[in-house]
């Protein structure tokens, strides 16, 4: 199982756009095969900071997820136009 924690702070003018995308995207991502968790959090006290917590069955499920979100205009390799600072991304393996 692959787990991802992604922390990012957006430029203020990009926040509303991300929220609009997430309202549409979250229910669709929850249906993806191999997706075990996809949680989107706003950081209290900072309207432009967000944390994603994601779990995928394996690398193939993660790659399918990335292809899916690209349909919504989200390219994980090119977020720089949205971000106020570099993101903090951790990839973890679930210990069982």
Query: For the domain that residue 54 is a member of, what is the CATH number?
Result: 3.30.70.100
2-9/88-93 β-pairing: antiparallel
Q: Give the confidence band of 77 by pLDDT, cuts at 50, 70, 90.
A: low
Q: How far apart are the C-alpha atoms of 9 and 88, rounded to whole Å?
A: 9
What pLDDT does 72 receive?
79
The structure's pTM equals 0.86
The total number of structural domains in the chain stands at: 1
What is the per-residue pLDDT across 24-72, written as a single tens digit (0 to 9) for each? Answer: 999 999 999 999 999 999 999 999 999 999 999 999 999 999 998 888 7
Burial 68-86 (b: 16+ CB within 10 A, else e): bbeeeebeeeebeebeeee
Structure tokens at 70: 């690209």
Expressed as residue numbers, the domain containing 6 is 2-93
Task: Show the 3-state SS of 1-58.
Answer: CEEEEEEEEECHHHHHHHHHHHHHHHHHHCCCCCEEEEEEEECCCCCCEEEEEEEECC
């Amino acid at each position: 199982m692959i787990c991802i924690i992604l922390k990012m702070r957006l430029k203020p003018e990009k926040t509303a756009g991300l929220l609009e995308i997430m309202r549409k995207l979250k229910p669709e991502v929850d249906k993806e095969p191999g997706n075990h968790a996809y949680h989107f959090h706003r950081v209290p006290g900072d309207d432009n900071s967000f944390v994603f917590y994601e779990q995928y069955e394996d690398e193939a499920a993660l790659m399918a997820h990335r292809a899916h979100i690209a349909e919504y205009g989200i390219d994980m390799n090119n977020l720089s136009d949205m971000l106020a600072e570099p993101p903090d991304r951790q990839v973890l393996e679930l210990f069982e």
